[in-house]
Structure 1
Amino acid sequence: MTTEANKAVVQAFYDAINRREFDLLAQYCHSDLKFYHQMDTPHHGVEGFVASEKQNFDAFDDWTMPIVELIAEGDKVAAYLVFQGIHSGLHQGVPATGKKLRFSLLMLLTLKDGKIIEKRAHFDRMDIRNQLA
């Protein structure tokens, strides 16, 4: 696939997330998807990705996570996003604070056969904790 086609898959994937249409994500993900959430221990499959992310999304009201920029080369797509939401539920052991959270994320996605096969998330956990303190 072309880099533009790969970017379109990633855009559609994040558009579905922002619409909270988690049931649509499988159509953008390879059956062998591995999601690395900051560390080198992956979550496997789209179900693992949704389960790990949904608990985060459930802790914030009115969240948005738009793509600010997409850059692609070969089978790789880098997505720069900004997450915003009101902390309304338990998040990583921190009870709801009612505070607005805003932080940036950088995702590196690898595509195979027109679908996302690997997703690596990079963000500043301490920034998140400091904002919720």
Structure 2
Amino acid sequence: MSSGTNQQLVGAFYGEINRGGFNELARYCHDDFRFYHQVDTPHFGVAGFVASETKNFDAFSNWRMSLQDMIATDDKVAAYMIFEGDHTGDWKGIAPTGRRLRFSLLMWLTIQDDKIVEKRAHFDQADIKAQLTR
């Protein structure tokens, strides 16, 4: 795939997430898909990714993860995103505050056989906790 085609794939993947189409994500992901929300903590398969992420999304209503920019080269895509949502459910032991959360994320995705095979998320959990507990 070309860099532009890889960006389209990643854009479609995140578009589906924003629509809440978690059941559709498998069509964008390789059979060997793995997701890392921290450096050495893999979740295997689309089901592992969805289970990991929906418990986070469930803690926030009116959430949106806006794709701000992407850079692609060869089989890699970097995606810069902004997450926003209202804290209306328990998140990692923090009771709902009703506060509006806003933080940035950098995703590093690897493409293989025209599918996303690996996704690594980088964000500041301390910033999230500070926004919810201040």
TM-score range, shorter chain: over 0.9
1:92 aligned to 2:92? Answer: yes
Tell me what 1:80 maps to.
80
- Within 5 Å, give how 1:1-20 maps onto structure 2: 1-20=1-20
TM-score where L is the length of structure 2: 0.98
Deviation sequence 1:24-62 (CA, Å, 0-9, x none): 100000010010012312000000000000000000010
Tell me what 1:59 maps to.
59
Residues 38 and 123 of structure 1 are in contact (CA less than 8 Å); yes or no, is this contact kept in structure 2?
A: no
Q: SS of 1:24's equivalent?
A: helix
| Paired residue type of 2:105 | L
- Unpaired runs of at least 5, structure 2: none
- Within 5 Å, give how 1:33-48 maps onto structure 2: 33-48=33-48
The alpha carbon displacement at 1:96 in A equals 0.4
Deviation sequence 1:98-124 (CA, Å, 0-9, x none): 000000000000000110000000000
Deviation sequence 1:48-80 (CA, Å, 0-9, x none): 000000000000010000100010000000000
The separation in 2 between residues aligned to 1:109 and 1:39, in whole angstroms, is 13
Tell me what 1:30 maps to.
30
- Unpaired runs of at least 5, structure 1: none
The separation in 1 between residues aligned to 2:90 and 2:114, in whole angstroms, is 36
Number of equivalenced pairs: 133
TM-score where L is the length of structure 1: 0.99
| Paired residue type of 1:32 | D
Q: Which runs of 4+ in 1 moved over 2 A?
A: none
- Tell me the percent identity: 58
